């Protein structure tokens, strides 16, 4: 058996998340069906990070095992020929047997795009998170600094989160603005269920003036989900990078969705 790694981008709007579901379309189902046709046998893939319903990706990474002998371009072109327009395989690499898309990953990166304006978006619907009120980026940046490093992120995990422990390490959390858009970039060793969206909702409460930047430190220390901000919508959330040890020789991060007035 040969182990193959793939880089994939997708529009999550039409899917019920990454993970296979019994009665709803998933990205995993679409990818496995396409690869199974190319391999001429049933294929099962493992991903670097399971994204929620409506969440997009520019740099999802998966691996699968196959006894089929195919060129790299055959996995890409053949896979894409059998995928819907909303999913695309970007690259394929043969990897060592000890590579694992999830467990070999060192960090994962997301970008959350917020549009702050009075009118809802039409062309960017489901591509950005729309906020009708003003948000001040400076206090959001100050609040974000409290979350850097290794912490117990119980206050930012979904109640249904199945992770064995809530401790994660955030290596980078930055906010920048371009006209009416705010880009929230976050990189961590791993994420809890809804962790990015809960952080985004909490920081937006600070940006709107409802809370002070130091409130975020209090929420973090309390380890109580009920004290944090709302779970921000999945619209505007993108998985944009998965970093692996250089020995595996895989491409780096995907493209960053960027918007400006």
User: What pLDDT was estimated at residue 141?
Assistant: 98
Which CATH code is given to the segment(s) 107-239? 3.30.70.660
- In the chain, residues under CATH classification 3.30.70.580 are 2-104
Question: Can you tell me the distance from the alpha carbon of 102 to that of 67, in angstroms, rounded to the nearest whole number?
Answer: 22
**pLDDT of amino acid 260:** 80
Q: Is 69 helix (H, G, I), strand (E, B) or coil?
A: coil
Q: For the chain, where do the domains classified as CATH 3.30.70.660 start and end?
A: 107-239
Q: pLDDT by residue for the chain (261 residues), tens digit each?
A: 999 999 999 999 989 999 998 889 999 999 999 999 999 999 999 999 999 999 999 999 999 999 999 999 999 999 999 999 999 999 999 999 999 999 999 999 999 999 999 999 999 999 999 999 899 999 999 999 999 999 999 999 998 888 899 999 999 999 999 999 999 999 999 999 999 999 999 999 999 999 999 999 999 999 999 999 999 999 999 999 999 999 999 987 888 998 887
Instruction: Provide the angle, in degrees to the nearest 10, between the axes of the packed helices 137-144 and 195-207.
Output: 130
Which is the catalytic residue, given 52, 97, 185, 214? 52
Q: Kindly state the helix (H) or strand (E) to which residue 99 belongs, with its residue range.
A: none
Rounded CA gap, 53 and 7, in Å? 19
CATH number for the domain formed by residue range(s) 2-104: 3.30.70.580
R_g of the chain, CA atoms, integer Å = 19
Instruction: Answer yes or no: pTM beyond 0.85.
Output: yes
**Whether 98 is catalytic:** no
CA distance 194 to 157: 6
The token duo for 178 is 């371009």
The stretches of 166-250 forming alpha helices (DSSP H) are 195-207, 213-222
- φ/ψ of residue 97, rounded to 5: -60, -25
């Amino acid at each position: 058996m040969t182990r193959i790694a793939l880089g994939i981008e997708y529009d999550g709007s039409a899917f019920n998340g990454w993970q296979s579901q019994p009665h709803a379309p998933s990205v995993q189902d679409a990818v496995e069906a396409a690869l199974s046709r190319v391999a001429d046998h049933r294929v099962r893939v493992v991903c670097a990070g399971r994204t929620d319903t409506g969440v997009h990706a520019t740099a999802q990474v998966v691996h699968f095992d196959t006894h089929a002998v195919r060129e790299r371009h055959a996995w890409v072109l053949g896979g894409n020929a059998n995928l819907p327009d909303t999913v695309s395989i970007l690259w394929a690499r043969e990897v060592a047997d000890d590579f694992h898309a999830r467990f070999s990953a060192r960090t994962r990166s997301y970008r959350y795009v917020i549009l702050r304006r009075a009118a809802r978006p039409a062309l960017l619907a489901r591509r950005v998170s729309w906020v009708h009120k003003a948000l001040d980026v400076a206090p959001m940046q100050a609040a974000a600094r409290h979350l850097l490093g290794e912490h117990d992120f119980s206050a930012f995990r979904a109640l249904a989160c199945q992770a064995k422990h809530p401790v994660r390490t955030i290596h980078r959390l930055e906010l920048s603005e371009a006209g009416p858009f705010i880009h929230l970039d976050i990189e961590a060793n791993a994420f809890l269920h809804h962790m990015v969206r809960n952080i985004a909702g909490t920081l937006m409460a600070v940006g709107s003036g409802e809370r002070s930047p130091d409130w975020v430190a209090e929420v973090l220390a309390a380890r109580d989900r009920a004290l944090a901000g709302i779970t921000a919508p999945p619209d505007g959330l993108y998985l944009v990078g998965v970093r692996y040890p250089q020995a595996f020789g895989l491409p780096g991060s995907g493209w960053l969705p960027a918007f400006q007035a």
